[in-house]
Amino acid sequence: MKLNSLHTVIERENALMQAEHARHFGHLAETLGRKGLLIEDLIQKIQAFQIAIPSWALGTGGTRFGRFSVGGEPSNLLEKIGDVGLLHALNRSSDSISLHIPWDIPTDAPTVRDHLAANGLHIDSVNSNTFQDQEGQRFSYKFGSLSHTEAAVREQAIEHNSACITYGTQLGARVLTVWLADGSNFPGQQHFRHAYERTAASLADLYAHLPKDWTMLIEYKPYEPNFYSMVIPDWGTSYALCQHLGPQAHVLVDLGHHLPNTNIEQIVARLMGFGRLGGFHFNGSMYGDDDLTTGSIKPFQLFLIFGELVDAMGDLHVQNPPLAWMIDASHTTKDPLEDLLQSVEAIKCAYAKALLIDKAQLRAAQEANDVVRAEELLQDAFRTDVRPLVAEATRLLGGALNPIHTFRCARVREALIAARGRKTSATGL
């Protein structure tokens, strides 16, 4: 699928929808204007909000039980860059890619850089993988990586992370994300304190390799693949590790990495208050890390999380680094590209709604312990249909008023299948 022909379809479909869109947008703009909100300011903020697409989300993922390919999936890094280019052309909000090493080792950095530039993209972060063994690897990660009881295994895992930094540097990335599968499946299997201390020491060795303009993100997860204990199960452990490492280490919050009913918005507020929130992985969660589309299960929670982010971004932005926003999901049911378009749309809408919260009035209601007023203010923002605002922000940048509709009109998947074949598989999936 060529970008030029997609642009033609975007223009054609936008023209067909323009009159109705203008009506909806005009009405919303008037309503928001009456509340004292500056439309240009909102549009600018929505346009500036960019969400990275991970290289592993472009193909159909599987479960333990099976994998059902959608066809036309990218089989190498250059094709993956091409797919993200299509998404970005449609929504103007996916201008970067997160690389997974070793699934997407950039063997030819200049060519990768050329492809990125041609698609208006850049590399956002590199993600290391010590949760599975690779061909020809000397030591196994079966019993852990950075926390392993044997120094040689820990050393191998540190070297792998260090190699990720090297690959990332060649492509202009400045973020390393570390997520460890390390933990135990049975009581007594692992000495909790020693496993933590070994992890902290390994991460400190790695931190010493980190270039001065890089950030190290430490991601936590309460269970899976280990089900009795994880070495980094929660934000408190990630935070403690960051404190141990230094100012370039930050906590990464993945929406799917919490136990059911965890108050994630409060975690976000805490971490931003401490100046230690560095990144965010979006997905939808019904029970755990189940990779559902962002906003498909708990849109109100997503809005509340953005409420905290927007609140803190106003006065605490100096303490926290620019946040690395990324979708982290593996699509098993839908066309991965459609799923990503839906996810980005949900994220933009949640962000836009959070921008509508009247912070001054909310603060006043909180100070006065006016519970009902505080809740009404949040509901007022949450129940506003901001889709015309998000669509206008996208349209002004040359994107599609309705990305999913336009994706289907342009027959993108059919074109990808024609070009790549029905039986393709993305690396790592």
Q: Which is nearer to Mn ion, 174 or 281 (CB)?
A: 281
Q: Which stretch binds Mn ion (CB under 5 A): 62-70, 227-235, 253-261, 296-304?
A: 253-261
Please report whether residue 311 would count as binding Mn ion according to CB under 5 A: no
Please report whether residue 289 would count as binding Mn ion according to CB under 5 A: no
Q: Which is nearer to Mn ion, 6 or 271 (CB)?
A: 271
Q: Give the nearest distance from C-beta 253 to Mn ion in angstroms.
A: 9
Q: Which is nearer to Mn ion, 73 or 254 (CB)?
A: 254
Q: Which is nearer to Mn ion, 83 or 254 (CB)?
A: 254
Q: Which is nearer to Mn ion, 153 or 232 (CB)?
A: 232
Q: Which stretch binds Mn ion (CB under 5 A): 48-56, 139-147, 250-258, 354-362?
A: 250-258
Q: Give the nearest distance from C-beta 328 to Mn ion in angstroms.
A: 4
CA–CA gap between residue 145 and residue 257 (Å, rounded): 20
Member of 254, 265, 291, 335 binding Mn ion (CB under 5 A): 254
Q: Give the nearest distance from C-beta 350 to Mn ion in angstroms.
A: 18
Q: Give the nearest distance from C-beta 219 to Mn ion in angstroms.
A: 5
Integer Rg of the chain from CA: 22
- Tokens for 227, please give them: 């089900």
Q: Give the nearest distance from C-beta 28 to Mn ion in angstroms.
A: 34
- Tokens for 71, please give them: 């066809």
Member of 21, 115, 276, 281 binding Mn ion (CB under 5 A): 281
Return the SS3 of 286.
coil
CA–CA gap between residue 98 and residue 51 (Å, rounded): 10
CA–CA gap between residue 336 and residue 59 (Å, rounded): 6
Please report whether residue 328 would count as binding Mn ion according to CB under 5 A: yes
CA–CA gap between residue 86 and residue 125 (Å, rounded): 20
Q: Which stretch binds Mn ion (CB under 5 A): 127-135, 233-241, 247-255, 402-410?
A: 247-255
Q: Give the nearest distance from C-beta 186 to Mn ion in angstroms.
A: 25
Q: Give the nearest distance from C-beta 47 to Mn ion in angstroms.
A: 26
CA–CA gap between residue 365 and residue 19 (Å, rounded): 40
b or e along 2-34 (b: 16 or more beta carbons within 10 Å of the residue's beta carbon)?
Answer: eeeebbebbeebbeebeeebeebbeebbeebee
Q: Which stretch binds Mn ion (CB under 5 A): 37-45, 92-100, 246-254, 380-388?
A: 246-254
Question: If binding means CB under 5 A, how many residues of this protein chain bind Mn ion?
Answer: 3
b or e along 359-385 (b: 16 or more beta carbons within 10 Å of the residue's beta carbon)?
Answer: eeebeebeeeeeeeebeebbeebbebe
10 Å Cβ neighbour count for 238?
25
To which residue do tokens 């790549």 refer? 420
Q: Which stretch binds Mn ion (CB under 5 A): 33-41, 232-240, 324-332, 369-377?
A: 324-332
Q: Which residues contact 244 (CB under 8 A, 6 or more apart)?
A: 200, 203, 204
DSSP code of residue 301:
H
Q: Give the nearest distance from C-beta 96 to Mn ion in angstroms.
A: 16
Site residues, Mn ion (CB under 5 A): 254, 281, 328
